[in-house]
Amino acid sequence: MNCIYRKRSVTFRCISKCNHMCQLYNYHTRICSWAIRIYRGSKKAS
């Protein structure tokens, strides 16, 4: 249940669960935001 970005599967979780959780953790917020960006750009650069 960690908000840290580890694998591609976690990236998806980060967007659904961590989204609101990241707001509580500044450090995690950066990781989540970074992971979400990769998830969106993952379609182009797979």
| Domain of 16, in residue numbers | 8-42
Question: Which amino acid, 17?
Answer: K
pLDDT for 46 equals 47
Q: How many domains, the chain?
A: 1
Alpha-carbon span 7 to 3, nearest angstrom: 11
Do the domain assignments include residue 24?
A: yes
Q: What is the pLDDT along the chain (46 residues), one digit of tens a residue?
A: 445 445 555 544 555 555 554 444 445 556 666 666 666 666 555 4
Could you tell me the pTM of the whole model?
0.24
The first and second tokens of residue 13, run together, are 């979780």
Alpha-carbon span 3 to 43, nearest angstrom: 22
Give Dmax (Cα) for the chain. 31
Do the domain assignments include residue 1?
A: no
Do the domain assignments include residue 22?
A: yes
Local structure of 25: helix, strand or coil: coil
Alpha-carbon span 33 to 39, nearest angstrom: 10
